Amino acid sequence: MQFRTRIPILQNKTQINYQSKIIALGSCFVENIGKKIDYYKFQNTVNPFGIIFNPISLEKVIVRSIQKDYFKEKDIFFHNDLWHCYEVHSELSNPNKDFFLKQLNALIDDTNVQLKQATHCIITLGTSWVYQYNETKEIVANCHKVPQKQFLKQLLSIDEIEKSLKNIVFLVASVNPNCSFIFTVSPVRHIKDGFVENNVSKAHLISAIHNLLNTEHLKRNTNYFPSYEIVMDELRDYRFYAEDMLHPNQVAIDYIWQRFKETVVSEIAFLTMDEVETIQKALSHRPFNPNSSSHLKFIENTQRKISNLQAKFSFIQF
C-alpha cells in the first residue's frame, strides 16, 4: 500500500551537465534551487537583479539586458536614505546615487552576456498579483516600502502572463536560439494576498505556462518542472514547511532538488556531482586537532581531489 502520490515528471528535453551555462531568474524559490546548483559547482547565475516575483517585471529586466537599455537618473528615486529602482529588488538599493546607477548598468552588461551564452534559463514565477505605481502606471518589481496608497494592486490575467512569457522566450531566442527554458511555479504560498487569492494567482501562472508549452513553435525549447505540484501533492503535510507554514523547509527543498536532479540533470554529470559533494563535505569538516598528521594528510588528499577536478573543469572553484 502506498501512502502518498508520486508525480510523474518527464525528462527535460535538454538536460544540464557541467558544460551547461545556467541563468536562474524569479522568485525566492529559484534561489533555493540555485543554491543547490551552486553547491555542485555548475556554471550558474542566480537573480542578478534580485528576487522578482511577477512575470511582467522579469520581462522588463530581460528586455533591458538584451537591448542594453541602460538605467538613467529618471529610473531611480531616493527614499528612506537610499536610492532605489522600481525594477529591481531592494537588496541592490544604495545610499550613493552614482554608484547605484553604475552597479545597475554593470548588471545589464553582465546579464546581456549571460543570456547570450546560456544553455538553460530557469524561470520560477511566484505570483500573478502585481502593484502598479500610480504616477507612471508601470508595474513594479518591488515597492521599497513606499506607502501602499501610491500603488494599485491588481491580478494579471492568464493572457497577460502568457504574452509576457512569450516575449521573454522570443527575445532571448533572438540572440540565443539554442537556449532551453525551464519554467516552474514557486510552492511558497503568498497568504498575505488571501487564501483564495493565492490559489487564483498560482492557477493563472500555471495556466499561462501550459499555454506557452503547448504553443507549437515553442515546444522544442520549453519545459515545465512541477515544484509547486510536488509540494502540494507529494509532500502535502505541514512537516515539510518552515516555521511560518508558508515556505518549504530544507527537507522539502532537498526532495525537490532530488526530483530535479533525476529529470533535469544528465546522468553523465552524476559522477562529478559526487566528487564535488565529497570535497564540499571535506571542506566543511572541523578537526579536533588541526595540526595532527592525520588531518594534514586529509587536507593534502582533499587538495589533490580539487586539483584533479579543476584539471577537468577549470571554472570550478572552492
Phi, psi dihedral angles at 123 (to 5 degrees): -125, 120
Residues 194-242: tens digit of each pLDDT = 999 999 999 999 999 999 999 988 888 999 999 999 999 999 999 999 9
- Listed as ranges, residues in the chain with pLDDT below 50 are none
Residues 6+ apart with CB under 8 A from 135: 150
Strand partners, 82: 79
Please give the helix or strand (H or E) that residue 77 lies within, else none: strand 76-79
SS3 per-residue string spanning 2-15: CCCCCCCCCCCCCC
Residues 6+ apart with CB under 8 A from 228: 184, 185, 186, 187, 202, 206
Q: What is the chain's Cα-based Rg?
A: 21
Strand order in the sheet with 151-155: 138-140, 129-133, 151-155
User: Within 10 Å of residue 22's Cβ, how many Cβ atoms?
Assistant: 22
Distance CA 11, CA 265 (A): 9
Enter the C-alpha cell of residue 84. Answer: 532605489
Distance CA 52, CA 30 (A): 10
User: What's the confidence (pLDDT) of residue 219?
Assistant: 84
Helix spans in the chain (H): 28-39, 55-67, 97-117, 158-175, 195-213, 227-229, 250-264, 270-283, 293-312
Q: How far apart are the first and last CA of the chain?
A: 45
User: What's the confidence (pLDDT) of residue 295?
Assistant: 87
User: What's the confidence (pLDDT) of residue 210?
Assistant: 96
Enter the C-alpha cell of residue 118. Answer: 546560456
User: What's the confidence (pLDDT) of residue 4?
Assistant: 81
User: What's the confidence (pLDDT) of residue 291?
Assistant: 81
